[in-house]
Structure 1
């Protein structure tokens, strides 16, 4: 396993370098001069010249990239030109919010999706299978922003059980934090649970038809042991892949859901940065998101080996 981990890390470093080049290069294609935007309506030439020099906008593209990468390697993601705050501080402020939202959404998705997929595969052709497939179809086809608005109308406006929007740190008030996060987490987790259910059902149906499962049943093992220990463990590989990708998507920021519930996470941060032409913030957030994707894929590969010992060889 150590050799495999070292090989994956050897691939990860060039991938991160290529991703950084892609992020920086595509960022330069955005129309408009950020210095003119920051200079305000007066467009003072002296101010514009100062901003060009400060942001290295008067340098060639490779030189600007070298400045940026050098700062990243030192842990400096740059400075927001809009509010004069280091990008690293902005990321550290927003990352815990997005991490909590992503963790709660993924927990809801796993608790609902995987059991529903197991039941649907085990009880194929029954009413339970029909109900599980109906839930999956509903979850996949329901827009997140629409479901979020309906939940606000029901639980906040009509019943008054939960706050309609806002965010409270769990270190200030854990109960208020969970009350504010449960609806957006369910909105995001509902869609992921539907996809997990379909993949779990498909993988379980394939595994339940294999010879070793029939052998386990012929040996007299309990059906629960056959399904949960022998079948589910070997059916988890595609589910782990999907879970890692979906978690990466959540960490990149659920823009619409965060906007509906006014959650100050990565989604709102990057939308504001794009509209304000705040290049440093956009580059920093996208780089952190891409790094999270790569790390999650590496963890998924390690999880394959933990779930299926045959892959270790």
Structure 2
């Protein structure tokens, strides 16, 4: 019975959070100053024309009625119609996600591949020159704003060395290799600050494990340093590292808003900025709600993953004590 109760509680709690988030998203977007009809028609539009457009867009209805209508459409999979593009919001989101999703995923993979090995390396070389250099680089990278780091990478690797394209998206019709090449530099700009944070946390977690008595025992039994790290240190360092990774995914999603505009990438980040400037409320609400939904269920997935990994970590701990 517990196998069915726990997933139900997990899903129910996430749906409650999503419901609260939907109220906040709709309220904040509706209460913002500015009239979408004036943005579409211009400030010189006649009052009767504005009133007609308000009626067409449903802006003349009470707040509660508009929210229930929007919520009912969400349950049908309808995010509404864009004011500016005059197409379905979900169609816009699905087109832009073809760029933003691989960009965020590639940045996450790069941050893990950089942060975790360097964190473990600096933990094993604590106080040595390589530890000081890597930690200094982490601190410097984290202190640089995302947009400035993106501009530096563009100026050096794209405009000076001509190794990467300066911006734009090649499109999936050009093949996966061309897509990867066009997204690699923006992904690096997104990944470096997150790799610095992940590396620092990995270093702290690995140092705490390296100070345990069983590590000295494992070395005394003749295990190589690589075996000690992979079989003993990493399993016990995973829970805090996974917690940091779960916190980094929302930062990567928000970082795409800045990086996409620097590299002239037409993803969800650029779409969100355009929608805010044009007062395109359905698009803004759809983008924000999609990000909130991903964050809510992503956090739940990592919590579930930590629960699933806890018996494995406990098994390693029992073997190490024995």
**What interval of TM-score do these two structures reach, taking the shorter chain for normalisation?**
over 0.9
Task: Give the drift of 1:204.
Answer: 1.0
Unaligned runs of 5+ in 1: none
Task: Give the drift of 1:150.
Answer: 2.2
Specify which of 12, 24, 30 is matched with residue 32 of structure 2.
30
CA distance in 1, matches of 2:49, 2:189: 46
Judge which range, 191-200 or 159-168, deviates more: 159-168
Specify which of 160, 163, 166 is matched with residue 161 of structure 1.
163
Task: Give the drift of 1:159.
Answer: 2.1
Superposed, 1:6-25 pairs within 5 Å as: 6-25=8-27
SS of alignment partner, residue 59 of structure 2: coil
Task: Give the drift of 1:46.
Answer: 2.9
Task: Give the drift of 1:101.
Answer: 0.6
Specify which of 84, 88, 91 is matched with residue 89 of structure 1.
91
Superposed, 1:132-147 pairs within 5 Å as: 132-147=134-149
Unaligned runs of 5+ in 2: 315-322
Task: Give the drift of 1:214.
Answer: 4.2
Specify which of 231, 234, 244 is matched with residue 232 of structure 1.
234
Q: Which has the higher contact order (CA 8 A, sep 6+)?
A: 2
1:186-215 C-alpha deviation (Å, 9 max, x unpaired): 111111110000000011111222344444
2:246 matched residue in structure 1: 244
1:271 matched residue in structure 2: 273
Does the Cα contact within 8 Å between 1:248 and 1:296 map onto a contact in 2? Answer: no
1:42 to 2:71 alignment: no
2:102 matched residue in structure 1: 100
TM-score (norm 2): 0.91
1:187 matched residue in structure 2: 189
CA distance in 2, matches of 1:57, 1:137: 48
1:205-251 C-alpha deviation (Å, 9 max, x unpaired): 11222344444445544332222222211211122122122123323
CA distance in 1, matches of 2:7, 2:237: 23
SS of alignment partner, residue 290 of structure 1: helix
Does the Cα contact within 8 Å between 2:83 and 2:280 map onto a contact in 1? Answer: yes
Task: Give the drift of 1:306.
Answer: 3.8
Specify which of 174, 177, 186 is matched with residue 175 of structure 1.
177
1:285 matched residue in structure 2: 287
1:255 matched residue in structure 2: 257
2:122 matched residue in structure 1: 120
1:34-62 C-alpha deviation (Å, 9 max, x unpaired): 12222224312332222222222222111
CA distance in 2, matches of 1:231, 1:156: 39
